[in-house]
A and B are shown apart, each in its own frame.
Chain A
Amino acid sequence: MTNDAESKPSRALALLRPLTRWLTPAVLIEIGVIALLFMIGFVISENFRTVDNVVNIFEQTTGLAFVALGQTVVILSGGIDLSLDANIALTSSLLSGVVNGRAELAAPMIAAVLTIGLTIGIVNGALILVLRVHPLIVTLAVAAIVQGITLLYTLMPIGGMPDGFDMLAFGRVFGIPIGAAFSVFCFAVVAFVLAYLRPGRQIFALGGEPAAARLVGVPVRRVILFVYGLSGLLASLTGIYLVSRLGVGNPTGDTNYNLASITPVVLGGTPLTGGRGGVLGTLLGVWLVQTLNNVLNFLDISTFYQWMIQGLIIIAAVSIFIDKRRRAA
Chain B
Amino acid sequence: MSGTWRTGMLSVTAISKSFPGVKSLQDVDFTAASGEIHALVGENGAGKSTLIKIISGAYVPDQGEIELDGRKVAWTSPREAQGAGIHVIYQELVLFPELTVAENVFINDQPLTRFGIIDHRLMESRADDALRRLGARIDVRRRVRELTVADQQMVEIARALVGSVKVLILDEPTAVISGREVDLLFDRLVALRTAGVAIIYISHRLEEIFRIADQVTVLKDGVRVATRPVKEVNRDQLISLMVGRALSDVFPPRRPLRNDAPILLRAEGISVGTRVKNVSLTLRAGEIVGLAGLVGSGRTELVQAIFGGVPFDAGKVEIEGTVFTRTSPRSSIDAGVGLLTEDRKGEGLLMHLGVAANIVAPRLGEIARGPFIDLGAENKIGADEIARFSIAASGPQALVASLSGGSQQKLLFSRWVRACRRVLLLDEPTRGVDVGAKVEIYRIIRQLADAGFAILMISSELLEIVGMCDRTLVMCEGAITGELTGPAITEEAIMTLALPV
Contacts and interface: CB of A to CB of B under 8 A. Distances in A.
A and B assemble together: yes
Interface of A: 1-2, 11, 14-15, 17-18, 195-198, 201, 204-205, 208-209, 212-219, 275-276
A280 B117 CA distance: 20
Contact of A204 (B77, B96, B122): B96
Contacts of B481: none
Contact of A15 (B77, B94, B95, B120): B120
Contacts of B117: 196-197
Given A1-B129, A218-B108, A209 B121 contact: no
Contacts of A208: 96-99
Q: Which of A18, A208, A209, A217 has the most CB of B within 10 A?
A: A217
A66 B78 CA distance: 36
B18 interface: no
B282 interface: no
B96 A275 contact: yes
A212 B108 contact: no
Interface residues of B: mostly helix, strand, loop or mixed? Answer: loop
By secondary structure, the A interface counts as helix
Given A11-B121, A18-B120, A208-B99, A216 B94 contact: yes
A267 B79 CA distance: 36
A21 to B, nearest CB: 9
A204 B125 contact: no
B434 to A, nearest CB: 24
A2 B110 CA distance: 17
A44 B312 CA distance: 49
A212 to B, nearest CB: 4
30 contacts: A1-B129, A11-B121, A14-B120, A14-B121, A15-B120, A15-B121, A17-B141, A18-B120, A196-B117, A197-B116, A197-B118, A198-B112, A201-B103, A201-B107, A208-B96, A208-B99, A212-B95, A212-B96, A214-B78, A215-B58, A216-B78, A216-B94, A216-B107, A217-B77, A217-B78, A217-B82, A218-B107, A275-B96, A275-B97, A276-B98
Interface in B58-111: 58, 77-79, 82, 90, 94-99, 103, 107-108, 110
Interface residues of B, number: 26
Contacts of B58: 215
B51 to A, nearest CB: 16
Nearest to B106: A201
Contacts of A215: 58, 78, 90, 94
A2 B78 contact: no
B108 A216 contact: yes
Given A201-B107, A204-B99, 15 more contacts: A11-B121, A15-B121, A196-B118, A198-B118, A201-B118, A205-B99, A208-B96, A208-B97, A208-B98, A214-B77, A215-B90, A216-B107, A219-B79, A275-B97, A276-B98
Contacts of B112: 198
A326 B432 CA distance: 31
A11 B122 CA distance: 11
A17 B100 CA distance: 12
A2 B96 contact: no
Contacts of B125: 1-2
Nearest to B159: A216
Contacts of A276: 98
Q: Which 7 A-B pairs have the closest CB atoms?
A: A217-B79, A196-B117, A212-B94, A276-B98, A14-B121, A208-B96, A208-B98
A206 B177 CA distance: 27
B425 to A, nearest CB: 24
B234 to A, nearest CB: 36
A66 B82 CA distance: 38
A18 B77 CA distance: 31
Contacts of B95: 209, 212
Contacts of A14: 120-121
A216 B118 CA distance: 19
B120 to A, nearest CB: 6
Nearest to A3: B125
Nearest to B121: A14
A204 B98 contact: yes
B126 to A, nearest CB: 8
A275 B125 CA distance: 24
Contacts of B98: 204, 208, 275-276
B252 to A, nearest CB: 39
Contact of A201 (B90, B94, B110, B141): B110
Contacts of B78: 214-217
B120 A17 contact: yes
Nearest to B119: A15
A234 to B, nearest CB: 22
A7 to B, nearest CB: 13
A268 B99 CA distance: 18
B395 to A, nearest CB: 30
A212 B96 CA distance: 8
B96 A209 contact: yes
A228 to B, nearest CB: 21
Contacts of A1: 125, 129
Nearest to B128: A1
Contacts of A18: 120
Nearest to B81: A217
Interface in B379-405: none
Interface-centre pick from B78, B108, B122 (highest chain A CB count, 10 A): B108
A197 B125 CA distance: 18
Most chain B CB within 10 A, of A15, A196, A197, is at A196
A325 to B, nearest CB: 12
A204 B100 CA distance: 11
Nearest to A271: B98
Candidate in A17, A195, A198 with the most chain B CB atoms within 10 angstroms: A198
A2 B119 CA distance: 13
Nearest to A16: B120
A208 B107 CA distance: 13
Contacts of B108: 216-218
Contacts of B141: 17
Contacts of A198: 110, 112, 118
A103 to B, nearest CB: 39
B447 to A, nearest CB: 39
B92 to A, nearest CB: 9
Among B58, B110, B141, find the residue whose CB has the most chain A CB atoms closer than 10 A: B110
Interface-central residue, B79, B103, B112, B116, by most chain A CB under 10 Å: B79
Nearest to B95: A212
